Chains A and B, each alone.
Chain A
């Protein structure tokens, strides 16, 4: 069953252009140039129930605009979209009970009150039955290891703890679709990993369909298999993220440590990144990795070998540039 279906979604924004400087500011009081910018054009895709899909793209590509249209926050200029069988722009209460959206930089928690109060408010807003509420709070606070923080005012919590409560608040009413926009922004590596693990567990056990927007490729690689890449408002890729990165990974870095001093001879097509008597680091085209390894092993006294792909950030940059 398709949980999200979008056909030729297009969003145009109008904005005013103002000439720079004081004179421009005064002139704009009387006359302004109206411009139109296409944030998303003819965007079509679908997501199956229970699928985890990543949404990638550089800043200003149109990712958040897409999420805003899928959640009914803004109306599309053209095109059709259905989420859980509903047209988001109609903003029906029944539709709103079927999804949740978490924006990493926007909070739904009440700053001066304990998180438990914000959870209780969501219970009433979503009309969650008492037993379901108690069970869900117990389940998620245990999963996120947040039982002991329920009574702490939100302003006293760390960024990671707050994000965990944001997720708990969003999952209480058992949404069918969860939209996450940069859920791990600003979090340290440990908190990022914890949140990914928890999302995997919650998704697996509750059958949630997840649409994740993130600039952290690790989030996307860990949580989603399929990835949609947006650039300048257009879909440039929809498919397996690992294989896309593999396509763009044309070099490997081979680092060899020797137990005695060695001098590595020049190898055709290979760039030396770092060289000492006991260690060498080489950037090798993928097709030359085997030959290069043979040549290095022939030098003997090899203590350690590490082979790494290109840095994932560079790969993503290449993908965005369409190289």
Chain B
């Protein structure tokens, strides 16, 4: 395990090398919440409740998806791995005694750490300053959401890893990025709470819903599904995708040609 903590440490140090990028990402997360508030104000049009959500609840939903975004979007690493497979640089993971999958997960967590902390801090300030625009969150609900957030992050990292492994087969996976963006926005619940589209039960069977939708609604105390059921289904999805990722880690490089080395 120590080697993967060392990878995390390297990634964190590396991310701190460019401070402006880190700070600006956090600051701009406030703008996205402000824009969401304006958009949903127009949608609500003065109504108290819309599809089971009040306006402060919708704003809070957006705020929380913003905080979770760094944990649920391993896009940077997915692109990096894909580019490395295409250029032959992936060989660096093959000649050292380490698991590329474990490297991917630990590096993803490390890359998400500072943006998550900064987004949480900046958005917490926004929430405290403009309390009436947000729903009050209960500490117990937030605690309940922690295991979901963690497992949901692992699930989204596994999805990103599996997509990057497709580069071994297709060389260029631009089409998969397009599909995953749509999936992330609509099926994970980043754009709109899934219960508004699919009703209360269907989201439980969509694996992507555990990366954003469930962690957020559990944090808000608004989940229609018992926590243990959600955790059980999420764990099952995580195990299935872990199996697929491990299989791909072993088998996909058999077709690797290391072109460009």
Contact = CB atoms under 8 A, between A and B. Distances in A.
A72 B257 contact: no
Interface in B177-233: none
Contacts of A113: 10, 13-14, 17
B114 interface: no
A120 B91 CA distance: 20
A262 interface: no
Contact of B98 (A64, A68, A72, A125): A125
A163 to B, nearest CB: 16
B94 A73 contact: yes
Contacts, number: 70
Give chain B's interface residue range (CB within 8 Å of chain A).
20 to 34
A71 B95 contact: yes
A112 interface: yes
B218 to A, nearest CB: 36
Contacts of B253: 91
B6 A112 contact: no
Given A106-B89, A112-B14, A72 B94 contact: yes
A37 B14 CA distance: 41
Interface in A20-55: none
Nearest to A39: B257
B7 interface: yes
B260 to A, nearest CB: 9
B247 to A, nearest CB: 15
Interface in B238-261: 253-254, 256-258, 261
A198 interface: no
A125 B6 contact: yes
Contact of A117 (B2, B13, B18): B13
Which of B7, B18, B257 has the most CB atoms of chain A within a 10 A radius of its CB?
B257
A196 interface: no
Contact of B95 (A13, A73, A123): A73
Given A72-B94, A73-B91, A108-B92, A64 B10 contact: no
